[in-house]
């Protein structure tokens, strides 16, 4: 697969590591409203919330949600009439022509699959369907079924045709699951729509993939204060803060979606090599960059690598940062963001 030039990326997640975003309500020269225009809907299999702080932005908010809904219909593996479902149905049979957006995200997904040596693999769909983590029927698969699925998890078996704009899964039984990158892309698209409509102060939170537009409402030079969720307490309990401007932040963690069986806990971050959840000391990971799509994929890859290799991976990138929280309550950050992260809970320790 052709290598692409690295671009800046982004992430941190609210469902995984929830945030508390601090803002005041006074007007300034950006024509901010006294109260944000806000809407919450259930999309992408999660709670989607957008807050716009500029005055008279109702139409912009409508357009942002229209775009989110449209893309959800194209990308959702769970929807039978989605483009991704058709790609999966035609696995081993024929290439499927898709929209420019789906093709673009698939192309980026394969880029990160190659860059991470498969730690992030968009062909994990058959595996995620087998585990059903996050659904009522989640269960540990039978070994035989899991071994069969492992045979069709391989990003090298995806064939893209740029001229025809098609995606072809070469092996029957393969399934693409772009959930680990498409939600970030959709979050970025919502932010793009708002900016195109003149919005310069907003928060887009699509189930934990968050993009903050512009500066905080506290002032034109003030960053947003994003609280980092304490992974061991109730949602909304924070253990630290990070300051961000016009950025994306996405978090993923083992507490985000999981279930217990026979006294063992199983989380949703599955290892494409073994078929089981990754087994390491990481409780949560937050990736920060300027777009959520790349951040989504990087988060999965950096989680799989573990803290030491993951920090080296992120520190070698331009415009990308990471916050790791371990099961021992140690907090590790990439080099560039260390001074921007403060710990407010004494039970956590920031490790230099």
Annotated binding site for Mg(2+): 180, 296, 300
Question: Rounded to whole angstroms, how far apart are CA atoms 171 and 225?
Answer: 47
Residue ranges for the binding site? Answer: 180, 296, 300
Q: Name the token pair of 198.
A: 């003149």
181, 75 Cβ separation under 8 angstroms: no
- For helices 58-75 and 100-115, the axis angle rounded to 10 degrees is 70
Tallying the residues shown for the chain, one arrives at 352
170, 92 Cβ separation under 8 angstroms: yes
**Residue carrying structure tokens 């929830």:** 18
Question: Rounded to whole angstroms, how far apart are CA atoms 26 and 32?
Answer: 7
Residues 6 or more apart whose CB falls under 8 angstroms from that of 251 comprise 11, 12, 13, 14, 15, 16, 17, 208, 228, 229, 284, 285, 286, 287, 299
Strand boundaries in the chain, DSSP class E: 21-22, 32-43, 46-54, 96-97, 158-161, 166-169, 202-206, 209-213, 224-229, 238-244, 247-253, 258-261, 264-267, 282-289, 321-326, 330-333, 341-343, 349-350
**Residue carrying structure tokens 């951040």:** 295
């Amino acid at each position: 697969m052709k290598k692409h030039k690295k671009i800046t990326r982004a992430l941190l997640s609210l469902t995984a590591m929830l945030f508390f975003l601090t803002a005041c309500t006074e007007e300034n020269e950006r024509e901010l409203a006294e109260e944000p225009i806000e809407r919450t809907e259930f999309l992408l299999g999660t709670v989607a919330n957008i807050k716009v702080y500029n005055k008279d932005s109702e139409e912009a908010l409508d357009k942002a949600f229209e775009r989110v809904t449209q893309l959800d219909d194209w990308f959702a593996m769970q929807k039978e009439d989605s483009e991704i479902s058709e790609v999966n149905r035609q696995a081993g049979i024929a290439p499927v022509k898709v929209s420019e957006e789906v093709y673009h995200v698939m192309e980026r997904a394969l880029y990160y699959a190659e860059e991470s040596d498969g730690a992030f693999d968009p062909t994990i769909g058959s595996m995620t369907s087998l585990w059903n983590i996050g659904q009522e029927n989640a269960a540990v698969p039978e070994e035989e079924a899991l071994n069969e699925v492992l045979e069709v998890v391989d990003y090298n078996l995806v064939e893209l045709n740029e001229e025809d704009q098609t995606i072809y899964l070469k092996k029957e039984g393969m399934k693409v699951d772009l959930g680990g990158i498409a939600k970030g892309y959709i979050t970025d698209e919502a932010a793009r729509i708002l900016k195109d409509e003149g919005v310069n102060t907003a928060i887009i939170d699509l189930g934990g993939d968050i993009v903050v537009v512009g500066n905080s409402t506290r002032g034109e030079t003030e960053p947003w204060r994003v609280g980092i969720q304490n992974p061991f307490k109730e949602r909304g309990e924070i253990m630290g803060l990070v300051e961000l401007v016009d950025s994306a932040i996405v978090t993923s963690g083992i507490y985000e979606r999981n279930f217990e069986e026979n006294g063992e806990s199983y989380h949703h971050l599955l290892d494409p090599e073994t078929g089981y959840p990754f087994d390491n000391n990481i409780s949560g990971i937050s990736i920060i960059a300027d777009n959520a799509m790349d951040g989504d994929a990087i988060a999965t890859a950096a989680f799989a690598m573990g803290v030491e290799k993951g920090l080296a991976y992120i520190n070698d990138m331009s415009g990308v940062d990471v916050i790791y929280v371990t099961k021992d309550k140690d907090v590790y950050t990439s080099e560039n963001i260390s001074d921007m992260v403060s710990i407010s809970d004494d039970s956590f320790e920031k490790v230099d």
